[in-house]
Amino acid sequence: MSDPKSPEIPSNFSNDERIIRGLFSMHNFRKDFSLKSNVFSLRPEVDAGVSVIRLNYSHLNFCKQQFKKIEKPIVDKHYYGMALLLVGGILSTSTAPVTVKMAYTPQNDIAAHAEIYYFINGLHYANHPQGVPMPTAISIVIDKLLKHARSYPDKDLNSETWTGEDLSLVRFP
Amino acid sequence: MSIITPDLLIAFQQLNGGNPYSEKKTRSRSPIHIEWVMPNSTSSENNVISYYETLFQSTSAKRSAEDILSKYNCLVDNWDGYGALAPTQSVIKNSISFLSSLPQKVLKNLDCDDNITPNPNGTLSFEWVNEDHKIYIEIGDEKMNIFSLYNDHYTGYDGCEISYEGVLESLFAKFYFTNA
């Protein structure tokens, strides 16, 4: 399935835009399937932010298929579900000295790909060293992010399509 | 009579499932009489019992910390599908040592599924949560970072020594006091 992208995906984000993050490890969940902080942590020693898909410019079936495609090369690692956030919720977690921003970063196979970036005192925080705890300013922001995120474990993992709740219609308070 | 040194005691405990008191049962059935002797050869029975208890507690705490962390020790790189690193051996070692040093009350409130989180950068996080209070600790190769949340107010502590004493001790005192 190709990405049902609009030919014109804007580079700016509206606050009510929906953002999806694929989940590939049971270590991302608590027993009640609420999310753990590692869902929004940065990968070490890379320049990238937290990889997400702009649901308003994509489709749940496409997201799921991309996630299932990613799981294949990983031994014993599987796609488990998705996290859903609103852009407004993400941006609202900015807490001095950290600012949270969204960046539109389309990829060849995912036109609606985007990233969540953390800035400390205006500088893009990246290339975090291995084995070093994340600055608490960022951990605090991630803790706030979790309060805005909803967890949707996929109850139909073998299906090629998303058969759960329509996440484009889920109401946020 | 056999003399048991601390090293032998640990080895013996491992053979007996970790409980030094199980040795007493073995002893009562065994024709061999074993007397525990402290390294400095004190003859006070109280001291010997106290020594057992301390050693048992620390060995037992270490073992339970190892058990708690065993599933995180088995992670491989890219465990989250986004390129996360497995916890480093230093992080595992530091975490075992840290958990072993926690008071029982604190350790008991740590749910090993819900309150321990491997992070993509190879560190491990631990958190304690009650109604209005959270203590979050991220242990790295050399240092740990801590933040506390109390009544919607966050306080962060970066670059702390990996130890219960100091900042954490006072945070937990408040955590349990306000939860009392």
Q: What is the pLDDT of residues B116-162, one digit of tens each?
A: 999 999 999 999 999 889 999 999 999 999 999 999 999 999 999 99
Q: Residues of chain B whose C-beta is under 8 A from some C-beta in A? A: 75-76, 78-85, 88, 90-91, 111, 113-114, 117-123, 125, 134, 136, 138-147, 149, 154, 156-158
Q: Return d(Cα A128, Cα A137) in angstroms, integer.
A: 14
Identify the band that residue B53 occupies on the pLDDT scale cut at 50, 70 and 90: low
Given this model, what pLDDT does residue A77 score? 67
Which of the 8 DSSP states describes residue B135? E
Which of B130, B149, B179, B128 is closest to A143 using CA atoms? B149
Given this model, what pLDDT does residue B153 score? 96
**Does A149 or B56 have the greater pLDDT score?**
A149
User: What is the per-residue DSSP string for A2-34?
Assistant: -----S---SS--TT-EEEEEE--GGGB-TTSP
pLDDT in tens, A125-145: 999 999 999 999 999 999 999
Which of the 8 DSSP states describes residue B102? S
Please tell me which of the candidates A25, A44, A51 has its beta carbon nearest to residue B121. A44
Task: Please state whether beta strands B153-160 and B144-150 pair in parallel, antiparallel, or not at all (unpaired).
Answer: antiparallel
Please tell me which of the candidates B81, B121, B147 has its beta carbon nearest to residue A25. B81
pTM of whole model > 0.95?
Answer: no
Beta carbons within 10 angstroms of residue B41's beta carbon: 7
Distance of CA B25 to the CA centre of its chain: 28
ipTM over 0.85: yes
Q: Which helix (H) or strand (E) holds B34?
A: strand B34-36
> Across the A/B interface, how many CB contacts are shorter than 8 Å?
117
pLDDT in tens, A137-168: 999 999 999 999 999 999 999 899 999 999 99
